[in-house]
Structure 1
Amino acid sequence: MPLRKLAKSLISLVLAFLALEGVLRATDADRRIIGDPFKVQEKDIILHYLAVDSFLQWRGRVGTPLMQPSEVISSQGLRSPEISRKKPPRVRRIAALGDSCTFGFVAMGKFDFQTPRPYPALLQDLLDRNLGPGRFQVINYGLIGYTTYHGLRMLRREVLPDDPDFVVIRFGWNDLIGSPTSRSFANVHNPWLERLEDLAYHSRLIGLLLYRGSPVDPRSRAPWTVSAHPVPWVTPEEYAWNLGRMIDLARAHGAKPILLDAPAAPITPEIRANKDFIGGVRYGTIEQFLAAHDRYQAITARVARDKGVPFLHTTPPPEKAFQYFSRYDIPHPSAGGQERIAQRLYAEIISILAREGAL
């Protein structure tokens, strides 16, 4: 009798869940409940590119124009041309995971922001020009504000289903920034829970419940505070785990992972004068922020060494730093910096393919 009651209860619960799921899908009530927290702040040069996503927290806002002529965010929420999920025959796909440096964003003055062509697009140009068009597709999965927490989820959700041959990974800035929620974020570490999570996020009801319980909504951020040791968005230990997991998943899929460094620009009087920047990253001083950055970069190098994957150094020589960085921006490469990254990546990919006799 108790088992029969339990079975009836479970059946009732499943039916109620399916009914609520159906109502949400039929009425889009979940989307009205969540609202559009990024859209209401559309005057913000950063936030207006973003839209809510219950699994990724946010993604690119489909159709949003960029500063390049006729360029908009794709239907997949990416700064890339439209692609089919099924990879065309005899085409190699290169996936670029990262943050706003990969998306392509740089401050050229205190109130002057640009979206130069990012290194994935420039890499596509190099491959097309030197090896012929149609042989490679470079897809830019980078997005403003992303950390390795988001990168791993993007890899699971979007990148692996797109069947990449190479996965380029470039993080190391937003992970160390003081968390806007005053707590760090971590992915599940159990592969079975990971698969269950991937399945669960196909549910609109679960997505609604989890998003409403998440403090990342820009309408409800914690008050801005600064500290010599703020609570980072992603802890150093979790940063290392996320990088390693991305490498392992890429390899399990048959893709070749490549890690990139994320160098810092020289500190200029213009950067020191920008109090909004140092307050925004929640460190007490620029020196404290850069010391944390060095620790995370050392982790990237260690993970690459331990996993046996290429680690590309893109730091420019000091005398040429301002060919590759803006005087107003520490993390983001300028147009020249994006070109340098693309050239280093191109050389590495060609070298890998040549060693395999695959050119």
Structure 2
Amino acid sequence: MLFAVICLVLGLLGALLLPLTELFPAVQRILIGAVIAIAILALTRATGLVRWDSLNKRFLRSSRLKGALSSLLSILLLIGALELCARVLTATGVLGYYRPIITVESAAKKTDWRAHHITKDEAREPDPVLFWRSIRRYPYNAQGFKGKELPPVKGPHEFRIFCYGDSNTDGPDRGGWPEQLQAVLDLRSLPGVREFAVVNAGVAGYSSYQGLRRFQQEVATYSPDLVLVSFGWNDHWEALGAPDKQFSSAIPFVDTLQGTLLRYRFYLVLKQYMVPCLLRRESFSGPRVSPEEYLENLAGFVETARRHGAAVVLMTRPYGDERILRNDRVPAKYLTKIARGNKDLLAFAAREQAHVLDIHGAFAALPSSLFVDSCHFTLQGHKKMAELLCNYLEDNGLLPAAGQRAVTPSSGGAVRAQKQR
């Protein structure tokens, strides 16, 4: 009897813990957890490591132990049953469940992609502070970046360039502009004298709000020498429910607990129906990040980087010509917001004497075939972006000379992209 009870308890416990791995569907979690626990216990019984007969007699004589195990079993059974029911009912569409980023997708031709990135994008996983982050498997590495992993200690001649941005920075699995920039700079590297490491820290769907918080999490760990920043497309998109700043907790424990609970469907169902005020704020109508907050986030990049001894280059957000935008049905009012955001960025950089590269202005003079759609480069577009960047960095003294350790973060001025030579 005791053997059976413990097998059942451990099986249910394993089933409840397995969702944290995000590896198995609901039914497989329960079956695999039970099989593993029972197999371990059966092995102990077969090998004689545990004398189950004597334990059974003690168990039957101990009312306290029976009561404790009975209570634990009842709790685990209840939680397991609720989790299984929640997954079945949400999978069949009987119940809805909370999408940890935003509420709904409107039928009035409004789409908030924050829900997609957290629930339907196989390359993303939930994050309590950043909302979602890239998975730590191909095409991303264990550090959450694309490309080679960085060594724990930066080499004496290593110059690290971190690229923060949205899907246009994240790019394709291979050939994005950070990777192309790495290839161009490799031609200028001198092993043992000057070595470049370009890190693609772009994440699809990110706003400047998310990008800044990720940068603040990582800057002390990876010690970048130069930070390239490209946001704007997602910032100005209309939010359905609430702006980005309302989805972050200032309490670390709450963030950790929230990140754990988000793995369980029963919790998401409860959140959907018991806290509707967090989901639908009918009184709110505006972008994910307001124009003022957009500039505040850019200022946060500049201030944080300079505080850690790194230089920053802000970049306007490129987009396609009118024909491409019309084909993609990009609303005219949204395009106006993007254009305004680019102008605000250039004005901000001039006031703050920050380095700025007008990528949109540069691509406006180039063929539209460099865009695959309204806001993403083709492979040739990524290559051209890398060339423009490399020329700009060299022309403005942002790359170290042979034997030089790093650039001076306070140097600069608002300088626009020069035409390609």
Question: Matches of 1:303 and 1:137 in 2, distance apart?
Answer: 28
Question: Percent of aligned positions with the same letter in both sequences?
Answer: 25
Aligned to 2:345: 300
| Residues 118, 354 of structure 1: alpha-carbon distance in 2 compared, 3 angstrom cutoff | closer
| Deviation (angstroms), 1:207 | 4.0
Distance 1:132 1:91 in 2: 10
Deviation string, structure 1 residues 198-228 (Cα, Å, up to 9, x no partner): x826963254479979x99xxx9979x9xxx
TM-score (norm 1): 0.68
Q: How many residues align?
A: 290
The yes-or-no answer on 1:156 pairing with 2:208 is: no
Aligned residue in 2 for 1:147: 207
1:170-219 CA-to-partner distances (Å, cap 9, x unmatched) read 1110000111x42112289xxxxx9x94x826963254479979x99xxx
Deviations 1:95-148 (A, max 9, x none): 11000010015xxxxxxxxx5511111111111112335701110110100001
Q: Give the alignment's Cα RMSD to 1 decimal.
A: 4.1
Cα deviation code 1:74-108 (max 9, x no counterpart): 11222222222322222010011000010015xxx
The answer for the alignment partner of 1:340 in structure 2 is 384
- What is the letter of the counterpart of residue 256 of structure 2? R
Alignment gaps of 5+ in structure 2: 1-12, 23-82, 88-97, 101-114, 406-421
User: C-alpha offsets along residues 151-179 of structure 1, whole Å, 9 cap, x if unaligned?
Assistant: 11110112442100001111110000111
- Aligned pair partner of 2:234 in 174, 179, 184: 174
Q: Secondary structure at the match of 1:55?
A: coil
Q: Check the 8 A contact 2:207/2:232 in 1, yes or no.
A: yes
> Within the alignment, does 1:247 sit opposite 2:305 as a pair?
no
Deviation of the 1:258 alpha carbon: 0.6
Counterpart for residue 5 of structure 1: none
1:61 and 2:135 matched: yes
Residues 117 and 124, structure 2, Cα contact 8 Å, conserved in 1: no
Map of 1:104 onto structure 2: 171
| 1:321 matched to 2:361 | no
CA distance in 2, matches of 1:175, 1:312: 19
Q: Structure 1 residues 322, 132: closer, same or farther in 2, change over 3 A?
A: farther
- Aligned: 1:120 with 2:189: no
Distance 1:336 1:75 in 2: 28
Gaps of 5+ in 1: 1-22, 65-71, 106-114, 189-193, 279-285
CA–CA distance in 2 between the matches of 1:163 and 1:89?
12
Change (3 A) 1:355 1:56: closer
Q: Are 2:117 and 2:132, in contact at CA under 8 Å, matched by a contact in 1?
A: no
Please, which of 355, 363, 367 is the counterpart of residue 310 of structure 1? Answer: 355
* TM-score of the aligned structures, taking structure 2 as reference length: 0.59
Taking a change above 3 Å as real, the CA distance of residues 124 and 332 of structure 1, as seen in their structure-2 partners, is: same
- Helix, strand or coil at the partner of 1:259: strand
Equivalent residues of 2:318, 2:363 under 8 A apart: no
What amino acid maps onto 2:182 in structure 1?
Q
Q: Look up the SS of the partner of 1:175 in the other structure.
A: coil
The 1-side partners of 2:237 and 2:397 are apart by 34
